[in-house]
Amino acid sequence: MSSLVRPETPFVSAAEDRIAAATQLQLTWWRFRKHRLAVVSGIVVILFYLIVIFADFLAVTPPHATDAARSYIPPQAVHWFDQDGSFKPHVYALKGRRDLRTFKLHYAPDPTDRRYLVWFAEGYRYRLFGIFETKTHIVGLDRGVPEDALFLLGTDQLGRDVWSRLMLATRTSLTIGLVGVSLSLFLGIFLGGISGLYGGAIDTVIQRVIEILRSIPTIPLWMGLAAALPNSWSVTQVYIAITVIISLIGWTELARVVRGRFLALREEDFITAAELAGASRLRIIFRHMVPSFLSHIIAAVSLALPAMIISETTLSFLGLGLRPPAISWGVLLQDAQNLQAIAMAPWLLLVAVPVVIVILAFNFLGDGLRDAADPYG
């Protein structure tokens, strides 16, 4: 026998050895990494959820502080370099001037009074992570006095700082999305699983229910449900109720994905092999089937989240969801609802920008996850 004959080896090099021992998770991650758009979107999503955690830190002005005198102030321009060319970001202080005919106070920037930006400045009190009391915010003005304020995105009609409200709105809107999706997830997996696993009459009933739910026009449905909420409910209660309402509709998509996967998996030989080995039903479901569709679930979830966010934004925008004094994207956008407001204060529309960015990011992320999860098994 020639000395060149080699016994069986599936792979030749050490690099391929690494691939051979790679788990599904690793393979999925490596495939995901190749989708640059999805990776970037993933980073964007992470950044947004950092905002959720540090919302108060990122806000500069008390978001609820109204001051009719400061209404509709345009965003303060940040000048990055000082007259001598050094990097000293600053804004021009706002000086109030009374219009002698209307006796209204108008604020306008005063170029002679430069206010330098200070990092980690002191501002209003809040609780970081809900635990630590602190007054530190990311940025503030030097020589600060309580009446001074930094309006990075201008103010709304009631003189409230749009930037700070945007930070808190982001927190609210993104967490509603998460909570809503978790509820949908639970319902979707449970009902979709039963549907796919047991089939027969149960499956038929659940499928028909899903179809009926999906065929109801959403906005009238929401209007009806929201109108049914008692006026006396507190902000928090309304918040929870809205979340529940949204997730009651959203579970149908996930249920269909889960059902489809269960149906496909039932026929696989390795499931039969496990049954023939004597594995219990429970083990087959949790050890064999669930890991198989986990990646599909993750992909479906990342696509369901934007739907939830849009739902909440729409509801609140229409005045049916969260109402002031709660702050969410939809509530903020409500302020931009009339033409007059937009004409006078177009910066109010800037609230739409993070909404669009987050939705796009979740969509690209979800696509990337689905493509990474799919090519295998």
Which residues contact another protein (rule: CB under 8 A)?
1-8, 10-13, 16, 19-24, 27, 268-270, 272-280, 283, 288, 291-292, 376-377
State in angstroms the smallest separation of the CB of 365 from another protein. 22
Residue closer to another protein by CB (options 263, 274) is 274
Please, how many CA atoms are within 13 Å of residue 117, restricted to the half-sphere of its CB?
A: 20
Residue closer to another protein by CB (options 278, 325) is 278
Residue closer to another protein by CB (options 294, 349) is 294
230: DSSP letter: -
State in angstroms the smallest separation of the CB of 11 from another protein. 7
Determine contact, residues 223/317, Cβ cutoff 8 Å: no
For 213, 241, 334, 335, 337, the CA distances from 227, given in Å and listed in that order, are: 19, 12, 18, 21, 20
Residue closer to another protein by CB (options 20, 227) is 20
- For residue 13, the tally of other CB atoms under 10 A from its CB is 8
Tokens linked to 78: 């940040």
Start-end of H helices in the chain: 14-20, 24-33, 36-53, 55-58, 162-198, 200-215, 218-228, 235-266, 269-277, 281-283, 290-317, 329-334, 339-344, 352-373
State in angstroms the smallest separation of the CB of 3 from another protein. 6
Going 41 to 47 to 53 to 57, the CA torsion angle's sign is: negative
State in angstroms the smallest separation of the CB of 22 from another protein. 7
For 149, 156, 338, the CA distances from 344, given in Å and listed in that order, are: 21, 10, 10
Determine contact, residues 112/104, Cβ cutoff 8 Å: no
State in angstroms the smallest separation of the CB of 376 from another protein. 6
Residue 100 zone, left/alpha/beta (φ > 0; ψ -120 to 50; rest): alpha
State in angstroms the smallest separation of the CB of 367 from another protein. 19
Residue closer to another protein by CB (options 204, 237) is 204
State in angstroms the smallest separation of the CB of 254 from another protein. 21
State in angstroms the smallest separation of the CB of 14 from another protein. 12
Residue closer to another protein by CB (options 163, 293) is 293
Determine contact, residues 261/292, Cβ cutoff 8 Å: yes
State in angstroms the smallest separation of the CB of 270 from another protein. 4
Residues 6 or more apart in contact with residue 363 via CB below 8 angstroms: 41, 303, 306
Residue closer to another protein by CB (options 145, 201) is 201
Determine contact, residues 45/365, Cβ cutoff 8 Å: yes
344: DSSP letter: H
Residue closer to another protein by CB (options 20, 100) is 20
| First vs last C-alpha separation in the chain | 40
Residue closer to another protein by CB (options 6, 101) is 6
Counting Cβ atoms within 10 Å, is residue 268 exposed (0-12), middle (13-18) or buried (19+)? Answer: middle
